[in-house]
Structures are given as structure tokens and as C-alpha cells.
A and B are shown apart, each in its own frame.
Chain A
Amino acid sequence: MIAISFALRLFRRDWRNSELRLLAISLMLSVTAVTAVGFFTDRVGQAMELQAGESLAADLVLSSHDPIPDSYREKAHALDLKTAEVLGFPSAVLHGDRTQLVMVKAVSPGYPLRGELRIRAAAGGAERIAQKIPQAGEIWADPRLLAALDLTTGGRLSLGEREFLLSGVISRDTGEASNMFRLGPSVLLALTDIPSTGLVTPASRVHHRLLIAGDQAEIAAYRSWIETHLDENIRLSDMSNARPALRNALDRGSRFLGLAALVTVLIASAAVALSSRRFVERQADASAILRCLGASRALLLKVLLIRLLLLALTASLFGILLGFAAQFVLAALVGEWFTAELPAPGPLPLAIGAGTGLITLLGFTLPPVFRLGSVSPLRVLRRDLNVAPTASWILALCAVAAMGLLMLWQAGEFKLALLVLLGTLLTLALLLSVAWVMVAILTPLRHHSNAIWRYGLAGLARSPVMTSLQMAGFGLGIMALLLLTLVRVDLLDTWERTIPAQAPNQFLINIQPDSVAPLQQFLARRTGGGGDIYPMLRARLTAVNDRSISPESYQNKDAQRLVEREFNLSHAKSMQPDNRVVSGRWWRDDELDEPLFSVEQGLAKKLGIQLDDRLTFDLAGSRISGRVSNLRSVRWDSFRPNFFVIATPGLLRDYPTSFITSFYLQPGNEKLVSDLVRNFPEVTVIDVSALLQQIREIMARGSIAVEYVFLFTLAAGLLVLYAGIQASREHRRQESAILRTLGLKRSRLLLATAIEFMVLGLLAGALASLCASITGWVIADELFALAYRVNPWLWLAGTLGGGIGVAVAGVAATYPFAVRPPLHTLREA
């Protein structure tokens, strides 16, 4: 009880201490970054589950510039699938005397089959999910159109020969993500109203789409039917083929965010460490007095711990609130990642935020706090009697344990945690050892220089511990700034470059063996390239290690879906260049006839497949079995044909095979596709340009989001710089006063200070540049499988910027002592 009341009394006043405020702000910053990213990735994760087919508004889409024959719809109905039709074309609408180019989208009842259409009764009004499409004579429009024409709902719009009532504002049409021909704002109306506009004649260029949706099995049946019946002018799109690429881009985006949050936590911890040291020093007096008055060691500890807990809780609370607010910005920045609105965040990030605050604070303050319990009461008589410093290995151990725990928790991934932790430890070790070496070198050197330099350098040699701490603080701070500016830009650029401008956007499947050679020639002639052609067979996984499996064997939804569907199997002599064996080994030339499989690692993980497992596939009625000889990683975002499972050629030789390839279709070159389909009627063309577009969008917006989170890192970096300068403030205040009393001129005092900080800053900057380059390179290579190039500007900016920046900040912080009359300071002492 006494402990609590003492702690509360002291806590009330604690906020007066600048170091405690710094401590609280650093903590709050960590918690904010972690919670913002936590909340956000939580929402992204949930959205991923919902994403599925929404951006197509269907599971399958047939599209053509000619009307799509009824037979396709009838077949779908026969299979119990739902259908809807969409007609799209550009046109002009008229309101009063103003016209505006729009994309007209006419839909049949039932649209959208997947995802949702949200409208508002008036611009800015409440959003609701549209249960029906617009009624006859009514039209809905993008808010952009309303703005352009100065229009409100209830107004009238002319489209062709017909006048419509504007009855709704489209707030979200999930099906629009797949629409790459957006020339202007869109308007939505019922398909049955189109004839009365007189706009569509057989000669006009309109885009017809047939949307199809239904159960997995029926969709699969429809797909296999259509692969043999697809008309040459009709294109088939389906999102699921390319889902891994989308997921990959999102995963990377989330990882970047997580990493940015992690770096923020790390750097803010350095500020926590610096300021907690001063906090503890300051507590020594109070502890000695309390002991003198008869307080026991246990009581002292309790009082301190309660105060620290209160501090952690308060800082975490504010951090969580800020983080919650910050994630709204984040969500707004990436809004278009998802066609659907992001779901509300779950409660888990709350716990993560509070936990981060607590772990960070306790990890850095517990060891010195325990020392405080044993402070000698004699300190009341002899001020210079300092608390025995905590053995540095205990400090290090505690801090590393806390950081490791945090990182493992945050990264959710051992490798990432380990990398970041190791990187930071190495950086710290480097900074500290260089500081010690520097002090050792400077100590003799300073006797051979003039007074100003001597005083400046003496400042560094005076207290090796302080110099090391400052060096560590400055180094980490500068590193954060470098990561923020140069490394981030380089990394994000590299990321965006992973999808080259000319990444394949068309997949050709169902290529028959005798068409392979002519098709390759055709593509070489017409596109100047044409990728490799791979055999492809469809098969269903029926048993693992002779235990038969079904969707019910798995808990995970993804796994169930995977088992339900047929896999695309391929066979190959050698591995594709962008694949990498992660365990086991690829088959040798003398093993080509043995029954072996190579399995993509993600699939293996989901289905619990291990190296050397025996897999059995049902391939058009016959069973083939083989042993898993290796697991592979695949770069799905290369947009080349890739396969979950690859077999040895011998295993699949006797089965009928079709082939798959991909190529880049230049916009405006659509004629190539119709020529291709005419020459190779059996080939099915799948257009993934919409998906590519979406992924590029994710990257672009993801980069903005990462930059935003890095703002927290920037704040943490500045904070740790500030903490570093504050660390020697007390010393400096006293010394300045004494030196000035002894007659040192103000300008020379400031010059000496500048020299001291400049030397520190230059060294810390050079080291930080080194560490930032290495960090950037390792992160790119290990975590994102990106090839990263070191930027020479980073070195220049880091070193010079570090030297000048730290000198300026240091002089600015010392300036007040240099200008106030020294007597003030001396009297206060």
C-alpha cells in the first residue's frame, strides 16, 4: 500500500523530468508505429480472404468486341451457374449545355455476381449496398461526373437519344478493378435501356462481357468445356490463375510495413535506453534519502517498478490511440489495394501495442532499477557516490532478450527477427568499439593541439561511457535517417522493378503438341520474343504417403480449395531459371525416368507435404505416384508460367499433354490476339493485364504506405539524436559555466562544442552509412529476394550530413548555456 501511494505521488511529478518525458515519447512512438501497422496488416489480412473473385465481379469472364453467342450462357445455366451481362463503351452525356465523356456500363440483373456495388442516394449521403441494378429510365454515375457537370441526384442526363433520371451515386463498384479502359467517369444503367439510346449499332465498337459465377466444381467443369469451345474472338479472364502473384505483392507490401515498424521500435528503444539511464541516475538521490529514512530495499524496488509500469501503460495507451488514428491514414493511402472496403481491425493489435511498450521499457530499465535498490544511503552525505553501474553484459542480455522477443512477435517470423536483431547488435557493437578506439587515440593526441581543439577533443575523451553512448545514439539515428531516405527509395524502386514494364500479360493455354513449333514462330515474328513453352497436365492430388486425402482432411480453407481443384502439373528436365530449390535437390540427368516430383514450398507447407513423401495424382482416370525429391521456391510475380508440382519427364511421358506459354501484348496491338486465335483455334488466351495493373497499383500505393510508416522511423531517429545530445547536457551545463567564468569567450566555447560534436557526427555518420548499406542489401536479398545496388550518395550524405547535422544540433543545444550568465548556472548547482 505504501509502495502504491509513494509511487503515485512521485509519478504525478515525474512528468516534470525531461528525461522521463523523452522516455515516454520514445515508448509512445514505438507503440504507435507497431499498432498502426498491426491494425493495418490485420485489416489487409482479412481483406485478402474476401478478395477472391471480387475484382472481376465474377469467377470467370468472357469478353469480346462482338456479342457473345447465347450458347455460352446456356451452357453456364445448364451447369447451374449464374450469369450476368455487361456492355461497355465510351460515349458523351449531356446535362444542360455541358457534355462529358463517360464510360457507359450497361448491366443485366444480377450484376455483380461477386463483390458488391455500393451507391449513395446523393453525393456525400449514406452508403448502401445496391440490391438491384438501376431501374428503367434511371442512371447511376461516378461522383466525378457529378462534380464535372455540377449535377445532383434527381437531375437529368441525356445519353444518345434518351433522357435519364440520375438516381444514385456510385461509391464503389468492385467489378471496376478489371476494367482497364477507363477513359472517364462511368455511368451505370440497365442493359435493357440501351436500345432506346440508339447508341449501339452493329458497327459500333462496344465491349461485351459475360460474367459467370458459381460453385468451384461447376466453374471447373465450365472451364474445361470452354477450353475446347472458345470462339476465336472471345477472351477468357480469371483471377484465380494468377492469385499467387497478387498475394505475393501484398505479402511483400505487408512485410515492408512490418519492417518499417520494427526499425522504428529498435531506434526508439535506443532513445529509451539513453533516457532511462539518466532517469535511473536521477533516482539515485531519492532512493538514498528513502533508505536513510528507513525504507527497505523491497519497498524501493516496488515504488520504482510501479512508476515504470504506470509510465509504460500511459505511454502505451497514448501510443495505441495514435496508432489507431494513424492506421486510418494508412488505409486511406492504400485504399485502392482492395476493391472491397477494408474490414474493421480486430483487437489483437491493442495487445501487441501495450506489450511492445511494456517489453521495451522493462528490457532497458529493469537491470539499472535493480541496482538502484541497493544504492548506498551514504549518498546523502557524499553526492559523488554513484550507483554501481550495472554490469554491461546484464544490460545487454536484458535488452537483447527484450528486443528479440519483440521482434519475433512483430515479424512473426524467425528469420526476419534474427536478421534485424543481428543487424542492430552488429551496428551497436561497431559503434561502441569505434567510440572506445577513438577515445583511446584522442587522449594522447589532445596534448598536441591548441586550446579550442583540446577542449573539444577533451570533451570526447572525458567520459568514455558517455562518448560511446552518444556515438551509439547518433549512429542509430543517422542510420534511421539513411534507411528512411536513400535505402527506402532504392528498395522500393527495386521492388517496383520486379515487374518489368513488359512483363507477360497474356497467357496461352491448351496449346496442342503439333502447334508448339508454329506458335513459337508466330510469337517470335509478331512480338519479337515469345517466352518458353511448357507442358501442362491437369491432375488431382488423391493421396499423400498412400493415405487418401479429400478437402475434409484439411482445416485451412486455402488447403481445402487446393485439394478440391485440379492442379496444373508439368514435367521438365531442368528447373526454370527463376525457381530455386530450398530443400532436397533437383533430379540428375540419369534420374529423368524415375518417379520424382518437385513441389512448390508454399503449397507443400499448406498441404503438409514433406520431402520424400509419396504423392499420388489422378490424371484423367489413371493414377501416377512418385516421391517428392525437392521443394522449390517460385517467383510468382515474374508472370511466367509456373507450376505447383513438376514431375520428371519419364513419369508423365505417356499422358496426353497440352502446353502453356506467356507473352507481352502491347496495348493497341489487340489484332495480334485475333490473328493468333484464327491461326491456332484450339488455343485459349487468358488476359492478365488487369491483374498486372492491380499489382502495380499495390506496389505504388504500398510504397506510399511504407514511406508513411517510415515517418515514424524518422521521428524515432530524431528522438535518439536528441537523447544523445541531452545525455551530456548536465555535464555541459556545469562545464560551460566554469569555463566562461574562467574567461573563455562565448564563440570559442561554441566552437569547441562544435568540434566535439562534429567529430562524433562524422564518425557515427560513416559507420551508419556502412550499416545502412549492409542492412539494405541484406533486407533486399534475404527477405524480399530482390537484387539491391548500393547507392554511393548514401555514403556522402551519411558522413557529411552526420557531421554537420550533429554539430549544428549539439551547438544549438549548448547555446543557451553559452549565452546565459555563468553565475546563474553556478548558483543553481
Chain B
Amino acid sequence: MVTDSNPVFARRLSKNIDAPAGRIDILQDVNFELAAGEAVAILGASGSGKSTLLGLLAGLDDASSGEIRLFGEDLGELDEDGRAALRAGRVGFVFQSFQLLPGMTALENVMLPLELAGESKPRPIAEAALSQVELSQRLHHYPGQLSGGEQQRVAIARAFATQPLLLFADEPTGSLDQATGRRISELIFQLRQQSDAGLLLVTHDAHLAARCDRRMLLENGRLETAV
């Protein structure tokens, strides 16, 4: 098949959890594909399993059943370290709660994925990335010294610094006010255009979803194409 050469390819994906109160089926029989450079938005009510799906596709968690391929590699056949190596340098993340390392400065946070991908001169690249998000003045500030919007901009710089093939974003504007959220989504789409990265965007925000190539809705554990 042609499709399994897509950066993200998932078939008959299920995820259930044995909680003390009984078994929870979060995802059932989900099929999903994302072509190179394509932007897909995933919509859904809170608790519908969007983050779970994103985590599975990014190889952050194990599926209960089904097949996932990331850049053509079967995640089920890789161990944790193998998946980490697969991600390094090729996948960027932006999260609702920023997820910067509090012990490192903005610059160091952005240098991090570059260094993990084996980049020998990470610093100028990281500086350039930070200047793209207009944070050149805040290179040596720690996350605790930055506002929420600024922290998210550092996270975006970090996500794009390695020129990834794929960007996973989980409600990137979820904990920001509207104006700041606008600016952040602007940045994401602008940078994506420059690097031509694929984008998997989980969001509530209809405006944001509208800018994607495709929209899908997660409901009752099933993924359907949305209008």
C-alpha cells in the first residue's frame, strides 16, 4: 500500500484501561493517516480521548491493539528507547501546559532537542529559533520568569528548532487568553509553512481547526471525518 509510507499511519487502534472502577475503552478501532506536510485537526469534547490518541501516535504510550507506523516504522516493534530515537530531531511537540524544563533557561530549553538529535552547533540555531518567536531578549531567562504566552513561544521555538517533519500540538492555546492564543496559533502556522512540517493539532478552537487541511472528530472512542 502507498499509505503506510505516510509519516503517521494507524490502523484498528484501540486503547483501554483497567481502572479500579472497571474497564474504560478510550479508543476503539481508530484508523488514521497523515500525509507529508498535511495539517490535520482533531476535535472532540473534553475527556473524549484526544490526548490519548496523540500520545499513541507519537509513540509516547502503548496501544492495547492495532498497528501504528511512524515514519514507516512499526512502533509496536520498537522499545521505549527505539521510539525516543525515532522522535529525536524529527518530531516537535507543543503542549497545553508548555512543558519546559524549569531548571534550564529559554535558550537551553531550545537547544535541548538539537543536542539530543546530535547537532554539533546547537546554539546559533536555537538563538535563531528564539528570535523567530521574538524572544531574543529573553534567552537567559528561566521558564519561571516568563509569562504563559512567552513560555509557549519558547516551546514553539523548541518544537521547530530541529526542522521537524512532524509537529504534535495538544491544545496549544488551551491555557492562554484569546489574544495571546491568536498570536500563538499564528506563529505555529507561520513556522509550519516555512518548514513544511506535517501537523497533528488537537484543539477546541474552531478558528484554529479551520486553518487545517482536514478536521476529524473523536466521539465515543471513534474517529470520524468532520465537516
Q: Which residues of A come within 8 Å of B, CB atoms?
A: 2, 5-6, 9-10, 12-14, 16, 285-286, 289-299, 374, 376-378, 380-383
Contacts and interface: CB of A to CB of B under 8 A. Distances in A.
Nearest to B61: A378
B80 A297 contact: yes
A378 B113 CA distance: 17
Nearest to B90: A294
24 contacts: A6-B112, A6-B115, A10-B101, A10-B104, A13-B102, A13-B103, A13-B142, A289-B99, A291-B84, A292-B58, A294-B85, A294-B91, A294-B113, A296-B81, A297-B80, A298-B81, A299-B116, A374-B80, A377-B60, A380-B95, A381-B51, A381-B52, A381-B95, A382-B51
A549 B101 CA distance: 72
Contact of A376 (B60, B101, B113, B142): B60
Contacts of A292: 58, 60, 87, 93, 99
Nearest to B95: A380
Given A10-B103, A286-B101, A382-B51, A293 B61 contact: no
A295 B84 contact: yes
Contacts of B81: 296-298
Contacts of B158: 293
Contacts of B58: 292
Given A285-B99, A294-B117, A297-B84, 15 more contacts: A6-B112, A9-B103, A292-B87, A293-B87, A294-B88, A294-B91, A377-B60, A377-B80, A377-B84, A378-B55, A378-B60, A380-B60, A380-B99, A381-B55, A381-B95
Interface in B93-136: 93, 95, 97, 99-104, 108, 112-113, 115-117
A291 to B, nearest CB: 6
Contacts of A13: 102-104, 142
Contact of A294 (B55, B84, B100): B84
A414 to B, nearest CB: 43
Given A13-B142, A378-B60, A293 B112 contact: yes
Contacts of B55: 378, 381
A291 B85 CA distance: 9
Interface of B: 51-52, 54-55, 58, 60-61, 80-81, 84-89, 91, 93, 95, 97, 99-104, 108, 112-113, 115-117, 142, 158, 170
Contact of B93 (A295, A296, A297, A380): A380
Contacts of A12: 103
A12 B104 CA distance: 9
Contacts of A382: 51
B196 to A, nearest CB: 21
A465 B199 CA distance: 43
Contacts of A16: 103
Nearest to A282: B102
Contacts of A10: 101, 103-104
A242 to B, nearest CB: 63
A614 to B, nearest CB: 68
Contacts of B85: 294, 296
A608 B55 CA distance: 71
B41 to A, nearest CB: 17
Given A2-B115, A9-B108, A378-B55, A294 B89 contact: yes
Nearest to B54: A381
A421 B33 CA distance: 60
A661 B105 CA distance: 81
A295 B51 contact: no
B87 A294 contact: yes
Contacts of A383: 97
Contacts of B88: 293-295
Nearest to A379: B60
Nearest to B113: A293
Contacts of B99: 285, 289, 292, 380
A381 B60 contact: yes
The 5 closest A-B pairs by CB, nearest first: A294-B88, A13-B103, A294-B87, A377-B60, A10-B103
Given A9-B108, A292-B87, A381-B60, A286 B113 contact: no
Contacts of A9: 103-104, 108
Nearest to B142: A13
A291 B102 CA distance: 15
Contacts of A294: 84-89, 91, 113, 116-117
With a 10 A CB-CB cut-off, give which of A14, A286, A298 has the most chain B CB atoms. A286
Nearest to A293: B113
